[in-house]
Amino acid sequence: MLPNTGKLAGCTLFITGASRGIGKAIALKAAKDGANIVIAAKTAEPHPTLPGTIYTAAEEIEAAGGKALPCIVNVREEQQIINAVEKAVKTFGGIDILVNNASAISLTGTLETATKKVNLMMDVNVRGTYLTSKACLPYLRKGKNPHILNLSPPMNLNPMWFKNHCAYTISKYGMSMCVLGMAEEFRGEVAVNALWPKTAIHTAAMDMLGGAGIEKQCRKTDILADAAYCILTKPKTYTGNFIIDEVLLREEGVKDFDVYAIAPGHPLMPDFFLDVEIGTTAVKQEGYGAAQEEKKVSRSQQEGADAAKVKTESAVAMPAGPVAETFRVIQEAVTEEYMRRTQGIFQFELSGDGGGTWYIDLKTKGGSAGFGKPPVTADVVMSMSSADFVKMFTGKLKPTLAFMTGRLKIEGNMALAIKLEKMLSQLNSKL
C-alpha cells in the first residue's frame, strides 16, 4: 500500500460517481490527508441492489479525516454539474482536482445495444466528462497544483476491443480523447491524465457483469486509489499520460501487490483494452485470432482430428476431433445433481475445426449433449472458436476471461452462463 504524505491537505477534489466503488476509494484516500471532497453522484436514496449513497459516502469521508460536500449530480444534466461546481466553490473556496470517474457500461454488440443504452454511455462517459471538465476548468486554473484525472484507458486500436461492444469502446475512448486534447490545450496550467487498471477491479458493476465468484479474479479498489493519489500529488507538469495502475506503483517502489488482491495468489483477470503481456503471454498470442493458437491436444484427440479430415469429404459427416471428444466426455459426466443445480439448455455456435452447432441439455429429463440443435429452445447461446471451446472445457481458459476479452459472445440468460462456469470447474478433472 502507498502511504499518505499529507500533500492533499486542504485541497478540494470534485469526484463524479464518488458514492461507491473506485470514486469513493479515491475520495477516502485523499480524505486521510484532510482534503475536501465534493461527492458528485446520483444516488441520494438507498438503491435496491447497489451499496451506498452520497450521504453514507460523506460520513465515511468525514470519519477518514476529510470534509465532505454531497451533491446530487447526474452528469447527463449540465445544470446539475454547474450547480454542484458553484456550491463547491462557495463552500471550499475553489476546486483543485477533478476526477472524472462516473461511467456507464453495456457489453453488447451493435445490433443488441438499445438506442437508450447508446445514449446513456455517450452522455455519461464522453459528454459528462467533457462538460464536468469544462465547468471546473475556470476554477482549476486558479487552483494549487491543479489536476484532471479521467478513469479511462489507453486508446488501443486493436479491433478486438471494438467488435463485441463498439458503443462502449467509443464512449471510453471519448474520455481518453478528452485527456489527449485538454492536456495539450491547458499545458502549463492544468495537468490532465488518464488512469486505468491492469486487472479487473472488484466493484458492484463487476459483480453484475461477472456474477458470483468473479471477485477472486479481481483486485480491490485500493490499487486505483493509491495510483490516483500518486498522480494527483505530482506537479502539474506531469500531464498527457495514460497510466496503468500497477506499472506506476511499481515505478514508485511498491513490491507487494498481494495486498491489493481479493484472493491473494488467485489468477487475475486482465482488464479491457489492454493487450496482456503480464506473464500471461497465452492471452496475448491468442487475442489476435486462430493463426497463433497452440495446437496441444492429446493423442486420442489428434487421432480424432485426423479422422475428421477424412470424414469431411462427406457433407453429412458428424464432426470429430477435440470438440466431439469434449462433448462425449460431457455426455458421460452429466448427472442428476448437475441438472438439478443448473436447469438450463446451452447451445454453442463454434467456428473452425469441428465447429457447427452443438448443445448441452441440463434441463430435459436424463440430460444430453451432442452435435446439432438442442431438443428444445436454448436458454443461452454461446459463440466462440472451437479451439477456445476446448480450452474452456479443459480448464485452460476461464469463461469470464473469454467473455471479457471478446472471445466468447453470450446471448440469453447470463445467470445460467455463470452457472455453467461453476459446473466447468467441477468437470475439469474429467476432461
Q: What pLDDT does residue 186 have? A: 98
Contact, 129 vs 181, CB < 8 A? no
Catalytic residue among 130, 139, 168, 260: 168
Higher pLDDT, residue 318 or 10: 10
Q: Which of 3-7, 283-287, 385-389 has the lowest mean pLDDT?
A: 283-287
pLDDT at 5 over 60: yes
Provide mean pLDDT across the span 11-28: 96
Question: Which DSSP string do the residues of 343-380 spell out, in sequence order?
Answer: --EEEEEEESTT-EEEEEESSSTT-EEEESS-SS--SE
When mean pLDDT is compared over 12-26, 326-340, 377-391, 405-419, the highest value belongs to: 12-26
pLDDT at 248 over 80: yes
- Nearest alpha carbon to residue 287 among 161, 101, 104: 161
Q: What pLDDT does residue 104 have? A: 95
Q: Does the annotation mark 238 as catalytic?
A: no
Residue 229, judged by CB atoms within 10 A of its CB (0-12, 13-18, 19+), counts as buried
Provide mean pLDDT across the span 190-215: 83
pLDDT at 207 over 50: yes
Angstrom distances, CA of residue 316 to CA of 28, 55, 311, 344, 347: 64, 65, 9, 28, 20
Pick the CATH number of 322-429 from 3.30.1050.10, 3.40.720.10, 3.40.50.300, 1.20.1250.20: 3.30.1050.10
Strand order in the sheet with 345-351: 368-371, 356-361, 345-351, 380-385, 409-412
Q: Where are the domains of the chain?
A: 12-260, 322-429
Torsion of CA 407, 408, 411, 413, to 10 degrees: -140
For the chain, give the mean pLDDT.
84
Q: What pLDDT does residue 304 have? A: 38
Q: Which of 158-167, 208-217, 235-244, 311-320 has the lowest mean pLDDT?
A: 311-320
pLDDT at 344 over 70: yes
Class of domain 12-260: alpha beta
Q: What pLDDT does residue 303 have? A: 36
pLDDT at 419 over 90: no
Could you read off the pLDDT of 50-98 as tens digits, one per residue?
878 999 999 999 999 999 999 999 999 999 999 999 999 999 999 999 9
Q: Which of 101-105, 120-124, 209-213 has the lowest mean pLDDT?
A: 209-213
Could you read off the pLDDT of 291-322 as tens digits, one per residue?
333 333 333 333 333 333 333 333 334 456 88
Could you read off the pLDDT of 148-161 as tens digits, one per residue?
999 999 999 989 89
When mean pLDDT is compared over 23-32, 152-161, 339-348, the highest value belongs to: 23-32
How is residue 172 written as a grid cell? 471510453
